[in-house]
């Protein structure tokens, strides 16, 4: 089998994850990277023995041998660069969030349709082994009808970047922890439920820490006061068209256990429940199942689940879809629907009232 030739746009931490996964894939050749930083380009060239690196991503897109690209850039660049890559005839794996807004995400889908190329959004948490187990459990019907979902990602001190970071500027990031962390939780919840349609949302956002100074994850630096135009905590109550409800909470910073950085998705059905709790990115012993057996409540912990890298599995799925001409599991259309929900959450929080989605 001929090697599939790949380009990676971006050379930051997320791009490094993509590069390391591609490097482990058989029949894949990383042809080039691009980044505005010469230092980062030099670092990835050394680590992956790459001969070509460009300051301008358009030079990478101009290489005819490249078949597919990963877009690993700051949020505001996702949509325009993805559209250009699709128009250049490349298949695209775009990091989350899909875009800054639903209309931007729709332009990505339109470009994929017009070009005939694959567009996959890298919702990598779908591809973890624990998450796949939960999906199989729900789809089997063992838990009955899922009617309530509680999703949470809370950090004690996790405002990303530093003073004047793009993460905290609305026009560059699109928002705070809702669009940064909550996007994963919303995608996971809707995917696990089989993509019901959100019909209304009531939400609140807060900025209790960011405007007073930023702390990084380890709190080893002094607070830096800079531009902070986004929330540092968001909560939402979402009604779905199948009758289920979804509650969401997500924070970059709050008064909670020191060092806390954990996410959870809890789903409760008519015949059982399942709770997935991931603390500091652990990959094993994260799932508990609750059922009634012989009239007695029983809790079980599936110990046989193996650790699985969600990014690696997502990238392998992307490559498989290209080779087999299949539709990716995490589609651009799902990205549009997700951004419509996130847009509605922000509108609800700003208006301080429930927003109905049409």
Which positions are catalytic? Answer: 96
**Which letter, b or e, does each residue of 284-315 get, where b requires 16 or more Cβ atoms within 10 Å of its Cβ?**
eebbebbbeeeeeeeeeebeebeebbbbbbbb
Q: Which residue has the tokens 């128009």?
A: 87
Say how far apart CA 68 and CA 61 lie, in whole Å.
9
Kindly report the CA angle at 272 between 271 and 274, in degrees rounded to 5?
155
Give whole-number Cα distances, 133 to 53, 215, 264, in Å. 39, 35, 15
Say how far apart CA 137 and CA 140 lie, in whole Å.
5
Instruction: Name, in order, each residue with C-beta under 8 angstroms of 62's C-beta and a sequence gap of 6 or more.
Output: 88
Give the side-chain half-sphere CA count within 13 A for 210: 27
Say how far apart CA 82 and CA 115 lie, in whole Å.
12
Going by C-alpha positions, the residue among 17, 29, 92 that lies closest to residue 61 is: 92
Q: Are 167 and 229 in contact (CB under 8 A)?
A: no
Instruction: Name, in order, each residue with C-beta under 8 angstroms of 103's C-beta and a sequence gap of 6 or more.
Output: none
Going by C-alpha positions, the residue among 8, 128, 10, 157 that lies closest to residue 68 is: 8
């Amino acid at each position: 089998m001929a090697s599939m030739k790949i380009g990676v746009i971006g050379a930051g931490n997320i791009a490094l994850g993509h590069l390391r996964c591609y490097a482990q894939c058989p029949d894949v050749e990383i042809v080039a990277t691009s980044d505005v930083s010469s230092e980062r380009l030099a670092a990835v060239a050394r680590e992956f023995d790459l001969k070509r690196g460009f300051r301008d991503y358009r030079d990478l897109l101009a290489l005819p041998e490249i078949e597919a690209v990963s877009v690993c850039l700051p949020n505001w660049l996702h949509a325009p660069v993805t559209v250009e890559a699709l128009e250049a005839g490349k298949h695209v794996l775009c990091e989350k969030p899909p875009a800054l807004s639903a209309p931007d995400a729709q332009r990505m889908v339109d470009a994929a349709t017009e070009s005939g190329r694959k567009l996959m959004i890298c919702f990598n948490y779908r591809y973890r082994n624990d998450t796949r187990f939960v999906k199989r459990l729900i789809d089997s019907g063992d838990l009955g009808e899922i009617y309530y979902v509680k999703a949470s990602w809370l950090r004690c001190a996790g405002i990303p970047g530093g003073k004047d970071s793009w993460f905290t500027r609305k026009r560059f990031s699109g928002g705070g922890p809702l669009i940064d962390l909550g996007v994963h939780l919303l995608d996971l919840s809707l995917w696990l439920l089989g993509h019901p349609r959100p019909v209304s949302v009531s939400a609140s956002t807060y900025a209790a820490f960011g405007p007073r100074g930023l702390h990084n994850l380890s709190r080893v630096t002094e607070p830096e006061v800079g531009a902070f135009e986004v929330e540092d905590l968001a909560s939402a109550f979402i009604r779905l068209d199948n009758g289920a409800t979804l509650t969401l909470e997500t924070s970059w910073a709050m008064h909670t256990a020191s060092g806390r950085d954990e996410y959870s998705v809890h789903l409760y059905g008519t015949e059982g429940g399942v709770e997935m709790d991931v603390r500091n990115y652990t990959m094993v012993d994260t799932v508990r199942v609750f059922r009634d057996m012989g009239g007695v409540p029983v809790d079980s912990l599936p110990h046989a689940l193996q650790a699985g890298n969600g990014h690696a599995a997502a990238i392998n799925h992307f490559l498989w879809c290209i080779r087999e001409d299949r539709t990716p599991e995490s589609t651009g259309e799902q990205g549009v629907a997700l951004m419509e929900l996130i847009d509605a959450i922000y509108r609800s929080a700003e208006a301080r009232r429930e927003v109905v989605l049409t």
